[in-house]
Structure 1
Amino acid sequence: MKSLYGKTLLNDPVQNKSTAFTREEREHYGLQGLLPYGVTDIKKQQQRVLANLRNKSSNIEKYIYLNDLLERNQQLFYRTLVDHIGEIMPLVYTPTVGEACVKLSHIFRKPQGFYITPEDRGEIISRLKNWPETDVQIIVVTDGERILGLGDLGANGMGIPIGKISLYVACAGIYPDRCMPVMLDVGTGNQALREDPLYLGYPYPRLVGQDYLSLVDEFVEAVQHRYPDALIQFEDFSSRNAFTLLDRYAASVRCFNDDIQGTAAVTLAGIYASCRITHKSFADLKIMLLGTGSAATGVAELLLPAFKAAGLGEAEAHSRISFVDRRGLVTAAHELIKPRICPFVSEREAMSFVDAITAIQPDVLIGATGTAGAFNEAVIREMARCQERPVIIALSNPTSHTECTAEQAYRWSEGRVIFASGSPFAPVTFNKRTHYPAQGNNVYIYPGIGLGVMASRARLVVERMFLVAAEELANRVLSGEIERGSIYPDIARVRDISQGIAIKVCQVAWQDSLAGGNLPEDLEANVQALIYEPGY
């Protein structure tokens, strides 16, 4: 790393330690007179950060403050995030990142990440050379069309890759300079954004069709040349483009889609763990999904090999999975059924959502709609009538878009529900008992996948990696957490969990002849050697 001096050193977020520079360092680096007298270690600095953070009156102010800290002192930011992940993760990612994306052009401070527009066509390889880092291992890319449950936010969606990258660093220990957030700013269908005088994105209608695909092709090809070891994580694309791009590249490029595959793995893990509470066999479960977008479809498509691994045949595995949408049970009579949903259509007659629950009696109900209130009182009560311990997983985020709140789920089920959600909820006290809703956040999965792919130098990301990741995550839920009804582990352990997932992913890579090089004698030590520990 280049040695900096004086004010230039203090202005560099990577090497700046601010008041933690010792007397000797201050003399050596020409910092005398540029800092106050007091020398404080990183723990004391954290106290100041937390005091200032907690003094902010809104989450968006906290988000801005934390981003400013990242731009001033990278190691202090990450050390504080790692040590206080439960408190700070909701501020740097969901649910706060949703509000930050909506307002990004209005709260813009300093450029972060890398932007590609249609005007870069034919020049993307040369544009990538402007990024200062040369050993990029993880790229998180979005086109901003389907940001959380908020829709098309165009270039404002850059908040998503930035947030995901911060969690790669904090939750898997991947070095910050090996990570790159990318925005494919191909325009927006959001007319209000295009007409906003403060909007910073490409202010034209969104590219579609071959014009769109050829630009993404050029980006993916450019990455292969500039960063041949990089894993590309697709994030918050529309369902249509999400599957198109995954099908287009997955067999030849080191990539995955977190909304499809990461969501599927974290949901499957929750279902596995729920069996320890209900004392049911996974192979016996019936699972109903509300929504037919990329997340719900991804869950269904990962459930199939999971059921088959549990001993079910192809037809039986399909029969355990049903879809409902705003019209009710998805049957052959539905119009315009999405191609990937066709294998799961029910042979039953058309019926409403609640009637479908009555008829099918699912053990698990999963919501991936982005529609607040989709799990209404009638839905929850019918699930509770059919099952002694109904499992309800409301995946949609941010919090304002979740299918039901934790309080509603516990109250309407008389406290019997096993509840998890994509966004965090505080503990709920009902009938003198405190319930602890679990958060099925993809952060339990994708950092470990990325770390494992990086450690093994796997040339592809395959389905079995997500299956073993789900199993590992489910196994990491402690007995005490199961006893209080939680189907996901405490987020404070996410670093250890990510390393465990990474080891499982590495094993798959070598077993499937996807890895680069020979299997290390001590795989755990090999993974551990890659871990970034922020501090000074």
Structure 2
Amino acid sequence: MTECKTTHGVKKLGCPHLNRGLAFTKEERAANGLEGLLPAAVSTGDEQVARVKEMMNRFERPLDKFLVLDSLHATDENLYFKMLVEHTDECMPLVYTPTVGEVCQKFSHIYRYPRGLFVSLEQKGRVAELIANCPQKDVDVIVVTDGQRILGLGDLGANGMGIPVGKLSLYTACAGINPAKTLPVTIDVGTNNPENLADPLYIGLRRERATGADFDELVDEFITEARRRWPNVLIQFEDFGNHNAFALLERYRDKILCFNDDIQGTAAVALAGVYSAVRVSGRKFSEQRFLFLGAGEAATGIADLIVDALVDEGMPREEARKHCALFDSKGLVTANRTGLAANKQPYAHDLPDCTTFLEAVKAIRPTGIVGVAAQPKAFNEEVLAEMAAINERPIIFALSNPTSRAECDAETAYRATEGRALFASGSPFAPVDVCGRHFVPRQGNNSYVFPGLGLGAVFANARMMPTGMFLTAARELAALVSEEDLAQGSLYPSLSEVRHVSMKIGAAVAAYAYEHGLAGNERPSDIEAAVADFMYRPE
């Protein structure tokens, strides 16, 4: 994550943005003072990739494979992203879900290469100095976390830096955001995780997590100073705790270019999956009813976007909200409940009190269930069988990750519903042969959407990201699902197509910005061609 000002000799080899290793030609070696600093052989890009794959294949554990890629990321970014672009299906699960969960849990023990910006509570009042230390002249995208709610793993404190790093790798690999113009950030206000506090190798602040004014003022200072240096930067909030996530989005969404991927990105991906499921089931979108296992950022974010989509089709908002119900740690969220958080209140309907999820399924009779509470195996055979009894084609979205937190696996979903489930997951599952059919389940992975959303916003120099952009992204993604995909049970395109998907979503989001007066530059005559040309490509 350095901008290399000196680009000659050994310092060129030490700059990951500029180093090409054995791919430097003999002429380039002579011109850049590299003769003698590299072996005689000149390797093609394909030969370099083959060498990296050979190293990776020596290991069986995903974490070890990640460490091979991480070393490459720190030394030769071009080759790192060439690996990710050319071998997306193999590498994405290593640099992001599910492996990134283990990476974050062990981050303090595998930390080797400085990358990104750590903003500590101890440095409050001096954040401008920290940002001045960042070598990037330009930054297009920042992904920032405070590590309080990492995936389904809880408070990991400064170890959560693995998430912004992984997300930004996907911004580049999937959507062609220039890696030299990205910045992962961790806001370190402490941690309430006793294992972190007791770990002698923990890299973060050793104190209980700060809340209230201290937290708010530090985050505000960071955003103010980041935008002072990079006025057009897109800020993506990632894995903040529920209260802070909603509060930050509410505070900034109408003021700066920002979004929360856990709330809005997850929602767009899930809505796209719903659109695909509706195509298969033959039932109208307006006839769908959803029961969410969970009532936090992801659940209410998805519910809110479903409601927005129904309203966009002409349904009154109050009626649209009745199509979504929430089930939290205390049971079904109903109008009888008191002390509900603000995000739950719109979904507190006049419903019977249910203390188990199966009871709620029987009472509500949803067409789809959406798991976003990190409750492993909560969609058990009883729940799945009941969904199959209620619906000819039940929608089963087990979206929690990593894999260990999934509400059910693909095989269980298909077998318990006799192959009738319309299934999507947060983590990858292998193809399944059930009832004489071959199913290829695909992830409802945010990487289908957030890179393209960011690409479109950055390309158009957008001022902000309203709800319409997320509806646009969901519809564009759903439109890219082929009949062949649907026939094999896939509600999303192959991840191997993710750069094309991101380009299409980016172009659609940019078009929305131009059409709604949100862009800071002129609209090109051919948006798709211009967006494709804008995308970084590893050479």
Measure the CA separation in 2 of the matches of 1:63 and 1:262: 25
Find out whether 1:471 has 2:452 as its counterpart: no
User: Which digits, 9 at most, give the CA deviation of each residue in 1:485-528, with x for residues without a partner?
Assistant: 11111011111111111111112212222111332222223322
Aligned to 1:238: 241
Would you say the 8 A contact 1:325–1:353 is kept in 2?
A: no
One-letter code aligned to 2:406: T
Secondary structure, aligned partner of 1:183: strand
What's the counterpart of residue 486 of structure 1?
A: 490
Rounded Cα–Cα distance in structure 2 between residues aligned with 1:519 and 1:42: 35
Residue of structure 2 in register with 1:418 after alignment: 422
Q: Is the 8 A contact 1:277 1:485 kept in 2?
A: no
> d(CA) in 1 for partners of 2:394 and 2:288?
11
Equivalent runs, 1:74-85 vs 2, <5 Å: 74-85=77-88
**What's the counterpart of residue 515 of structure 1?**
519
- 1:354 match: 358
Match of 1:33 among 19, 36, 39: 36
After alignment, is 132-141 or 17-26 more displaced?
17-26
Aligned counterpart, 1:203: 206
Which stretch has the larger CA shift, 230-239 or 47-56? 47-56
Counterpart among 156, 175, 180 of residue 177 in structure 1: 180
CA deviation vs aligned residue, 1:301-323 (integer Å, no higher than 9, x gap) = 11111011223222321121111
CA positional deviation for 1:46: 0.5
How far is the alpha carbon of 1:532 from its aligned partner?
Answer: 0.4
Q: 1:79 to 1:309 in 2, by over 3 A?
A: same
Deviation string for 1:22-61 (max 9, x for gaps)?
2222222232222222211001110111111122121111
Q: Bigger CA drift: 302-311 or 103-112?
A: 302-311
Partners of 2:9 and 2:254 in 1: how far apart?
Answer: 50
| Structure 1: runs of 5+ lacking an equivalent | none
**SS of 1:529's equivalent?**
helix
Alignment of 1:368-517 (within 5 A): 368-517=372-521
Deviation at 1:335? 4.2
Report the residue type matching 2:398 in the other structure.
Answer: A
Q: What is the rounded CA distance, in whole Å, between the counterparts of 2:290 and 2:310 in structure 1?
A: 11
Q: Percent identity?
A: 47
1:110 aligns to 2:108 (yes or no): no
2:14 is aligned to 11
Quick check: 314-323 or 148-157, which moved more?
314-323
**Are 2:336 and 2:350, in contact at CA under 8 Å, matched by a contact in 1?**
no
Q: Which is further off, 349-358 or 290-299?
A: 349-358
Cross-structure match for 1:278 = 281
Query: In structure 2, what is the Cα distance between the partners aligned to 1:501 and 1:276?
Result: 20
Q: Which one-letter code corresponds to 2:351 in the other structure?
A: R
Deviation at 1:152, TM superposition (A): 0.3
Name 1:249's counterpart in structure 2.
252
Shift of 1:337: 2.1
Cα RMSD between the aligned structures?
1.3
Instruction: Tell me if structure 2 keeps the 8 A contact 1:118–1:215.
Output: yes
TM-score norm. by structure 2 comes to: 0.97
Q: Is contact 1:146-1:236 (8 Å) kept?
A: yes
1:126-163 CA deviation, whole Å, 9 max, x = no partner?
21011110110100000000000000000000000000
Match runs of 1:243-392 below 5 Å:
243-351=246-354, 352-392=356-396
1:189 matched to 2:192:
yes
CA drift at 1:429: 1.9
Q: Which amino acid aligns with 2:259?
A: F
CA distance in 1, matches of 2:196, 2:468: 40
Task: State the distance in 2 between where 1:126 and 1:87 align.
Answer: 40
Deviation at 1:2, TM superposition (A): 4.8
Contact 2:172–2:179, Cα closer than 8 Å, also in 1: yes
Contact 1:10 1:16 in 2 (8 A): yes
Q: Distance in 2 between the 1:468 and 1:27 partners?
A: 50
Instruction: String of CA shifts for 1:400-449, please: whole Å, max 9, x gaps.
Output: 01111112111211221111001111111223432111100001111111
* Structure 2 residue matching 1:477: 3-state secondary structure: coil
Residues 17 and 180 in structure 2, CA contact (< 8 A), matched pair in contact too: no
Displacement after TM superposition at 1:225 (Å): 0.4
Q: CA–CA distance in 2 between the matches of 1:328 and 1:243?
A: 22
Q: Distance in 1 between matches of 2:362 and 2:289?
A: 13
